[in-house]
Structures are given as structure tokens and as C-alpha cells.
Structure 1
Amino acid sequence: MTENRPQTSRATLRKRRPLAAKIGAIGCLLLALALGAIGLTLWLTWQLEGGAAAVNEAGRMRMQTWRLAQTISAGDTPMLAPRLEQLDKSVALLQRGDPARPLAVPSQPASIAALATVQQEWTQLRRRWQQEGTGAPQTAQVADEATAFVATIDRLVDAIEHQSARWTMLLNSAQFAMMALAISAAITLLYAAQLLVFNPLERLQDGLSRIEGGDLTARVDASGDDEFGIVAQGFNRMAVRLQDLYASLERRVQEKTEHLEAERARLAALYEATACAARADTLPALAQEFAVHMRGVARADACAVRWSDEHNRRYVLLGSDRLPAELTEAEHCVPSGDCFCGQPQGDAHTQVFPLADLRGQRPSGRIDARLCQRAGFASVVSVPVRLHERMVGEIDLFYRTPRALDQDDRALFDALACHLAGAMEAQRADALQREAAVAEERGLLARELHDSIAQGLAFLKIQASLLRDAVGREPAGQSPRVKDTLSELDVGIRESLSDVRELLLHFRTRTNAEDFAPALRTTLTKFEHQTGMPTELHIADEGMALPPDVQIQVLHVVQEALSNVRKHAAARTVQVEVQQSPQWVIEVRDDGCGMSADDQTPDETHVGMRIMRERAASIGAALSFTSAPGAGTRVRLTLPRALPASGLVAETA
């Protein structure tokens, strides 16, 4: 008998749904009213737009009338027919309307009558003006006729605007009605929800609270015949059954509760770590989610996730949770071994650093442990993140009270760090795959350019040289214009061939080196070889190495700037300055002819400048141009402090 009750309740619930019916009826009524009001406002808006377009077209007719009158007065017979045709089109457009714009004269009698008057007067006026246009112009009469016709058009505009004002007033009224409807709907829904949903839910919640508090005798009122009444009946049956089970299972459950809870928490932590790795599509997002999750699992007051470069020389802060802003700024990039955060690879292991023991001491590097003490932290737990015995990062947990680690905690933290390392490896593999695909495509384009355009230009260069030699062997009376043309052709071919070779060089530019300076020096050396122009390179400070894909984009920007110097600047020297700290800034300066303010404005004609801006935007950098005629040009590229995630992932290779 007891087993049949839930089935009977579910069958009854399927047959009777008074609560759903009430809520559905209220919702459908409010939806119908809202749709009606929205439809009315859309119709009024359409009418207003059509009227406004009609007024605009009537304004054009006034302008065309005066222009036509001037044409007749000036005796400009060739322009008479086109301008008559323009006015014919405007009148015809007002008559038939244009649903696509939209354009329509209001259908009220006053507007229709005004439009008919305009059409009638124009028909008569057109006939007279067409005849007068072929004879001697009568300026005064034409001006009076034009003034009268413009007055008729003004009356049409007044009629349309009068009707538009009525529509505007009606639209405002409809909008106020919609606002009142929204308020009424909200009040109605809140009242219905309070009466039909929240009150029964409050009774059920009270019963659940009593059950959770250990009072298994708790029951709820099940007198209703709606869905909540059936749920209340099921709740009471559940309470009776729980009371029966609790009497026999309490002792056995109590024995295993703590052990199962601990295991469940660990498994949930590992599962959530896997879920974080699956959800994150970028390295910073992965680090941020992992920091939040790790702080909750370790019950820490703050957490930081750091990434280490390939040679474990520095640690970059990728994500943090509840870490004070002062620490975030000071420890954005930590050299390895300069602080207890950022352990060197040789002796890295999960360990606790009691900050009280470091009071009055200072590490050998730049980071002072007193920053953490001033933030209120008493201990730090450092968990290395390894991938195949190589350090790829570190997790730092900050506590405001002393913290000790047992064996289970160490095993859990190491397992979570292993999950993070695997996720970082997956991000790195994806980034390298994308980079390889781009490199392959660029190589294909370079080969196609070399095998087609470059070969053709080289052939044209040879043919131009042969033609020059042949012309030189002609008699002395040969036209000098031919030689000049051949010289210009030769120069153009040489420049085109140089541009194609430079493009091939851009396509094949690829770096996997950690240091940016050698790649930049190679680029400047090639520029000096091509142009014979001396260059100077100045590199200041020391900072975080640029990731490979960021290096490629920066080098392309520098190459494009040098290409502009070669083509347009007529410079004598080029200077390149690189600042690495606190953020990367690359500046290319020349002493050439410079640019005017109009030339610095990006448009479709300045393709090189537009491409440089697009490359800078792709890595989150800012690009600026400073130039004046005769004062040279300065191109300044400022990279963000937080480098793009794809580059960080790729550098872990």
C-alpha cells in the first residue's frame, strides 16, 4: 500500500495542474497585452518614419523648384529637361510612397488633398515652364510662379507635420501605457507568486529546516489540491520514512561519515580541477579559475598561480584570488629565488614558509617578505607545478594564521598541481598547433610569390637590361625619350622586385628563441644590407622575455616601419630603442622628410599603417605615430604588462 502512494500522487499531478494553469493564464494575458502595445508602438514608429521621409522629400522638391526656376531664368536649356525630370520623380515618389525607406504621405484627407494640389499645380507649372524654357526667359514671372508652388509644397509639409504630431502624441501615450502595463504586470506576478508559490515554498522550507535540524517529526500542511499540496504530501511521507530509517542506521552512518566526507571532498576537488581545465580556453582564464578553486579547497585566505619561463629564471603572476593589490603589483614578475614565492627548480617542493620566522630578514633578491606581513599573512604554502620533471609554474597559498601540512594535504595539493600542469600542457599543444598551421600557410604563400611574381619580375628585369643594351647600340639619333622610359621601367621593376623580396622575408619570419634582441639585430642587419643606411639599436633594462608569437608580431611592425623609411622617408639614419621594464616599449625613429597630419590619418590609402595598427591590436599593444614635415618620423609600440595568453603557453614548449 505504501509503495503505491508515490505513483498515485504522480498520476494525480499529471491530471490536475491548477497552479500551472493559473500562472499560464496570467502570463498569456500579460503577454497578449504586451504584444498589442508593442505592435501599436511599432506601427506608430513606422508611420512617423514614413512621414519624416515624406517631409524630407518635400524639402527636396522646394530646393529643386528654386533650382529649376534659376535654370529657366538663366536660359540654360540643356539642364531644363533633367531638372524637370527630377521634380517629376519627387512628385511620383510622394504619390506612390516607398516601403523600403519607409516613405509615405499620411492617408488623412488633409494630407491627401495637399498632395493632390501639389500634383495639380506642378502639372500646370511644368507645362508653362517647359514652354518658357524654349523661349525668352521671364525672370520675374518664373520667380513668382516658383514662390507660389513652394508655398503649396509648404502646405503639404504642414499637413504631414500636423499628422506626425498627432502620431507622436499617440506614441507617447502608448509608451506610458506600456510602462503602466509593465508595472501592473510586475505587481500582479509578484502577488500571484507570493500567494501561489512563495507561501507554499516557505512552508516546505520551514519543514526542510526542521528536518535538517534533526527534528524528524516535522510535518507540513498538505491541505491544498494543487502541485504544492501533492509535494507536501510526499514530503510528509518522506519524513515518516526518514524517521524510520534513522532509528536503525544512525550508528553505522556516524562511524563512516567523517571518512567518507574527507574522501568526497578530495574527489570533488580533483573533479572540479579537471572541470576547470576543460572549461578554460586561455591560460589566464585557466589560472584564474584554478586560483579560486585552489583557495577554496585549501581554505586559504588568498591564492596566486604563477607561470615560469622555459629556463626557470622568473615567475609571472597569471591568476590570483583575494590577493591584495599591493602584492599583485609587486609580485607580477618575480625572478626565481628572489623570494620564497618562485622556488628554483633544483630544490622546489611543497613546503610551508612561516612569515613570523622571517621577521627582520630580507631575501637575497628584490622582493621583501614584509609585504606579505603588512598584508596580514602569517604563512605561505608554496606548491611547485611540474611537467615531466620541469618547472612550469607554482601555486602559492596565503594564510592569515599559522598553517601546517599533513601527508594528505600534501598529496592533494600535489595532485591538483599535476592537474594544472596537464592543463597548461594542453594549452601549449593547442597554441603550438595553431602556430604551426599559420607558419605552414605563410610558407605556402611565400613559395607561391617566389615561384610566380618574383620569377616574372626577375625576367622583366633581364629583358629591360637587354632592351637597354639594344637601344644603346642604335644610331645616335635615337629618341632620348625611349631611354628615359627604359630607365623608369628598370627602376620600377627593381623596386617591385625589392618589395616582393621584402614580403617573402616577412612571410618567413619565425622565431622560437626566448630573447628578442638577436632577432631584432638580424632584422636591422638585413635592412642595412638592402638600403646601405646605418642603424643604431639601444636596449635598456631587463624584463620578461617576449613569447614567440608576440615576437613575430613586434618584428613585423618594426619591419613595416623600416620598409616605410626605405620607401618614403629619404632618411640618413634610423634609430631603434627598446625598453623592457616595467613594460616593453619599442620605438623606431628616422631623420627623414616626415609626414603631415593628413598623412598620419589612417585610411584605405595607408595600407602599411593600417596593417601595423592591426598587428599591434592583435597582441593588445598601443601604436602611435609622431611626425612633422622635415622633422622625421617616430613609431612607438607599447606592449601591455600582461602578455597575451597564447604566447605564454607557446613559450612553455
Structure 2
Amino acid sequence: MSLPSYRERLTTRIVTLSIVSLVLVLAMIGGTLWLSWQLQGAGAAINDAGSLRMRANTVALALIERQDMPASALQSQIGQMNATIDRLRHGDAARPLFLPDDAGVRSQFDSVANAWHAWLEPDAQSGDPGAVSRYLRALPAFVAGADELVVLIEKDNARKTAWLRTSQMALGAIACIGTLTIVYLLFLWIVVPVRRLQEGLKRIRRRQFDTRLQVETLDEFGHLTAGFNRMAAELQTLYNHLEGCVEAKTAELAAQNRELTALYEMAAFLNQPNDGDALCRGFLARLTRQFNADGAAVRLITEDGQVRLIGSEGLPAALLQDERCFAADGCACDARPCQRVGLTSVATFDIVSQGEKLGAFSLHFEGEHTIPASEAQLLEALGGHFGTALKGRRLAALARQLAVSEERNLVAQGLHDSIAQSLNFLKMQVHLLDAATREDRMDEVREIVPLLAGGVAESYDDVRELLMNFRTKLGSGELRRAVDESIERFSVQTGIAPQLDYRDEGGLPLPPDQQLQVLFILQEALSNIRKHAEAQHVYVTIVNGRDFSLLVEDDGQGYDPDEMAVLGETHVGFHIMRERAQRLGATLLLTGAPGGGARVELVLPALARQAA
């Protein structure tokens, strides 16, 4: 369908069409209302014109019966007659009532009104005896004139009624034709452009991106059609390049996926508990496989600042003897030895950990080979992961060495505080025994021998206690059992039964490592009591609440705090307990007085407690 070229806006056309339709409808409705009003007024005029006959006859009766009726009754009838004629002459818009605007009707009304005012009303007003007969002779002509007036008004009313029917039929026809016209125009203006756009969209969905719609109007749908054409052109351009873009994006995603896979596999491998050699071999094997290298090597910076080759993959033995081919400190070097064996391309990347350079690794290729920027970035990331793994293993080795050193220190301190003193005492007694034997002082010999036997027994008990302490291993929630065993062993060694108050006030169990440290502090405190306190009573209180606390008290000979402060770390037992409390993150309070016993109080706050 070919549409005309409309330059008006669609909204303007719709508003104009609506206004024209409204004006036509209002005009037709106004015409029918005017005709109805005319018919109503003419109907009232027919009633009043018809009443002229009745009122004229009533006046005649009043004249005939004048002697029997009061004069006011006759005047009333005459006044009503005059009032009716005046209403017909001037009309009454309130009723409504008025004569049709027709010359014949007006002429007939004037004739009837003149007949009344000229002939009948004077005779009705006159008291002459002959007036009644004159009135009665003129009455038929007046009644005939009134009838003629009624007929004329009815004819005019019939004509207007026909007009009303015709206008109503015209209004119905105009309503039907107008509705069809509006529907047709709206169909042309809205439905047709929308269908064209829908058809264009269907063709776009079928990927016919060369679809173009003709812009036939300059209204809103014209702008939409132009926008549709622009969209189709852009889609056509994009679709023409879509395949290449998809291939490029697919290749990019595949490369990224390979990089992520390589990074994940390398990270998973580096997190395995391998030694240094296995770590280097696995790292190089994965590098050569991932990047299609013909060889690879790893060199690390030693503690003396030298760069040493520690691992290689796929490199000939002759090349390994000449390390000039490999990068040193990240710099390129003489690659002629590599070229002689066919490895003409080499790429070097740093091995770093937290900004610290640990060494470098190199990839070797036969023939010319250029590493893309994305692969270079991945290799740098792998170098960082490899450096972090090496650094972690070095730190783990240092941590193990530190733990061994700490345990050795604790063993040395325990030996110094117990067996060393006993051996020193035995050494002195042996010297005294030797001197007494040479001088044959048997009484002295008999006194020294029991002391030697007691010193050996005490040293044996110290060794057993140390072995017991260092072999102790606790599981979660086994602290109470270990405490009971330590107190039982102390009771067997000293003959003193400590009073234990173990209160569990809702606190969670300590983890095994913290339990072990608490147990060692308790054992050290009991060992000091056994060796030095000469106590009669020992009290042990353990409270496991929000905070964990351990309290060991005795009524022994005590000690001088000032003297202990002067001794400092030379008193190995106190020093060991302080170290263990520091390792726990707890506070340790050691108090005592000469002759007043001693007190060891350990408090592990809630913030320092670990979950079991």
C-alpha cells in the first residue's frame, strides 16, 4: 500500500481529527436539541391556542348567565383570555411556549387576536343588552380562526418533527461514517506503520540484516523507521565482523584458559610437600611442556651472592658445562654455546618472592621464537609462585631448625638444673672419698658412701623425670589425666600428696600444644618443690573458665625474691617456666618469702587461648 507523504506530526493529526469529530457531533446534537425545544414550545402554543375556543365559550356562558353570576367572574374569564393571547404573542421561554417563526402562523394569530380585541372583548365588556347577541354571532368566526391557528401550528410542528427525525438519522449516519473514517485513518497512521516495523523485525530475527524500510512519513513513525534502518545497518556491520570477533575472542579465551590451567597446575604442584630437587625438576618439566620449550634451567642466588645452576631439563651435558649461556642476574649473556647445539633462542625470567630476587629461570628454543606478552606475564607470575614456594621451604627449614634448637635449649636447661648439679655434688663427694681412703679414715668413708648412693639415686630420678617430661604427648581434653599422673608421681617421689582443686567452669578444652606447655610448667613447679622447698603441704588449683589459670603453692622454706632477682636467668627452673609462659602468651607470677613458702601462678587470658 502506497501512503501519501504527511509532514504533520502524528499527534497533531490525531488531535485535529478528534476536534473535528467533536465539533460535528456537538453541532448535530445542538441542532436536535434546538428542534426539540422548538417542538416543545410549539406544543405548548397548540395547547394555549386550543384553549382560546374554550375560554371564548366560557365568556359567552358568563354573558348569558350575567344576572346569576357576579361581575368579577366575567372579568376573570376575560382576563384569562387576554393573558393567554399575550402569552401567545410574546411567548414564555421558561415553559417553553412560543409561536413558530412562520408568517402564516403569525398572520392567523394576529387575525384571531384582532377579532377578540375588536369585536368580542368590547361586547363582553359592554352592558348593552344587544351585546350578548352580537358576541354570540361573532363567536363562531372567532372559534374557526382559533381552529385554523391550531392547524397551522400543528403543520409547522409536523414539519419540524420530520426535520428532527431527519437530523437524528443524519446524526447516526455521520456517527457511523465518522467512526469508519477515524478507524481507517488510525489504521493508516498507526496500524500500517506498526505492521511494517513488525515485518522488518521478523526479517531481522531471520538474520536478514540487509532489511531496510522506506521512510514515507515525517511523523513519529517516520523517525522510528529511520531508527530501525540505522539499527539494521549497525547489526549488519556487526554481524559481518561477528565471526572474526568470535574466533578472536574464542582464541583469547582458550589462551586465557590455558594460562589459568597452567597457573593452577603449577600452584597445586608447588604446594605439594616436595624437596628442593623434586620441586625444581617438576617446575622445569611443566614449563617445557606448557610453553613447548626444548630446554629449561633454574639458577639460584646462594648465600655468598653467587649464581649457581641447580636444575635443568632437556639440555645437553656439553651445554651444562658452559654456564655462560644462561642468564645471570636477569641479564642476557653470550649465547654462542647454545647456538652451537641448536638452541638459538633463550628467554630469561626472575624468580622472586615478596620483592626479593632469589634467582632466574630460562627457556631455550630451537630456531627463532618470540614469547607473546601474555605468556611473558604468565611466566613472570610462575616465577613469583616458584619463588614463594622456595622461600616457604627455606622458612619451613629454618622453623624446624629453630624448633630443634629450642628443644635442645630446654633439654640443656633441664640437665643443667637437675643432673649437672647432682653430678657436681657427686664429684665433690668422690674427691672427699678419695682423700678419706688414702688417709684410711673409714668413719668418713662410711659417711660419704651413703651420700654417694643418695646422689646417684637422685640423679637417676632426675633422668627419669626429664625423659618422662620430654616424651609426654597430649591429645585434646587429656590435660586432667596428665595432671593426675604428674601429681601421683610427685606423691610417690616425695611422700607428699598434693591437694588438687580442678574446676571446669565452662571453658573450652585447650589445644594439645597449649596443654603440653601448661603441663611442663606444672611439672617444673613440682620439681622445684621436690628439690628445694622441703614442704609439708602442696596445693594445686586449676580453673578452666573464660581465662585459664594454674596455681601451685607450698608451705616450704620459700626463697628471697631479691636474691632470685640477682640470680636472674641462672636459676634455670624459673627461666624455663618464664619461657614456656611467654610461648603461651600467658602471664606468670612467681612469689615467695624465706620460710613462707612459694607460689607459682599462671594465667592464660581468653584472647590468647586457642580453639581445641
TM range (shorter): 0.3 to 0.5
Larger Rg: 2
**What's the TM-score once normalised by structure 2's chain length?**
0.33
**What's the TM-score once normalised by structure 1's chain length?**
0.31
